[in-house]
Amino acid sequence: MALEYNKSSLSACTSILIGKGATVDGSTIIGRNEDAKASWPKHFVIHEHKEFTEQQKFISQANDFQMDLPKIRSKYSATPEWTSKEGLFEEDGFNEYGVGMSATESAYSNQRVLGADPLEINGIGEEAMITVVLPYIKTAKEGVLRLGEIIEKYGTCETNGVLFSDRDEVWYFESGSGHYWVAQRIPDDSYAVVANQLAIQEIDFDDEKNFLYHKDIQKFVSDNHLNAKPDTFNFREIFGTHTLSDEIYSTPRVWWGQQEFSGKTDESPESENLSFIKKANRLLSVDDAQDYLASHFQKTPYDPLNESKDNKRFRPISLAKTQESHVLQVRPNMAPEIACVHWLAMGVASQSIYVPFYMGMTDTPEEYKLGELPYDSKSAYWTYKLAGVLLDSHYKELGKMFQDKQEAINITLRKKLHDFDEQASSKDDEELPNYLTKASFEMAKLSIDGYKELIAQLITDSTDFSPLNFKTDMNL
């Protein structure tokens, strides 16, 4: 079928990053909703470790970006598009060293900056970043440096944010123009939520532990008179935007996360001055990250599911255009194959299930490799999407039953994961990959089977909602 779709022009996401000292169990956590189009299937794959004899080259199908790659490619997981016609868009995953990466959080740069350093039409974009970075790094910081070097050399065709994590650190990377970038380490005791805006604020050029950047960025800003407050260096203020669109589309999602995690304040959802780095009023869990990515301003006038006059005022976090949502968790005191859990929710996060997959698995379930256009009943993506579509027309009537089923599946998955963790710790190096693969497959099947039961119940309960109906005398 004909494809008329430019992913890069439509991509819009929401992200969360949490340092290890801010979580209940010492995990590092990064997560993001991949938002673009309501019907655009995703797959989930494992690329095996390979050592090539010939020089490898990446050639983009989205533009003319290309670059040489190392001969050794580590094993990594990814969630590519169902078609590579517009590019790979592998988006998120872990590599064999326990490094997590999520790319990208789309953002915007202001016209002053782009006038001085325009975006490169054939530079690296979102579609290529996982593919050319994740298999070739051993720490989160190495990921920042590799992506920065690529952007300096080849330029980038987009303004983006990129998330990196490993056992010890969480980093957030932002490109602000064609070649200039910065990155900040999320403090261990803090978190950040980001929503389609450049987010990093003050850069401390003397703090190499917590900040990385293009070595000439200060000179570039000075030479082009871009800093209206030269006594400071606020990356968001210098490179970012402040528009009405930001206040309606982006900042309310940041506001919501900060209100949920740090406590209620008098700050406005439309504030342009929300902090990037925040401390929570409690220790956060992987459930908090998932709940944030699945949220839609519940219990406020801005929830699209209520009947308030403001229910369409702001863009919610979880929405129909989410292709997949992921949370990458690295847990402490475990072998990396067990410690790294790729929680993956296909389709709309609020209507799906975050299924845990071990990094140490060697393959993904067949259902996660299927799914094109149109609908395919054998596809994991389409199974979760179908349940949401059946719910959409009758939220009031079916929502409680839907949520009860989600909760039951989530409880069972967490018990399974706990049991598998205990058993995995006793497996030797030869047994472990096969064991983790079987465990991951079992959890995926449990969730999909549960959703097939849910779909059957949704269809059954929906049959009486037809407008072609009449109250019939049961005695006739």
Catalogue the active-site residues: 13
Sign of CA dihedral 72, 137, 34, 326: positive
CA distance 42 to 40: 7
Burial of 242 (0-12, 13-18, 19+ CB in 10 A): middle
CA distance 327 to 356: 9
Q: How far, in Å, are 84, 86, 93, 127, 233 from residue 60 at the CA level?
A: 10, 9, 19, 8, 34
Asked if 13 contacts 35 with a C-beta cutoff of 8 angstroms, the reply is: yes
Token readout for 124 is 């690296």
| Beta strand segments in 133-238, E | 160-165, 170-175, 181-185, 191-194, 211-213
Q: Distance between terminal CA atoms of the chain? A: 51
The three-state secondary structure class of 181 is: strand
CA triple 65-68-69, angle to 5 deg: 115
The three-state secondary structure class of 263 is: coil
- H/E element holding 403? helix 395-424
Phi, psi of 163 (to 5 degrees): -105, 135
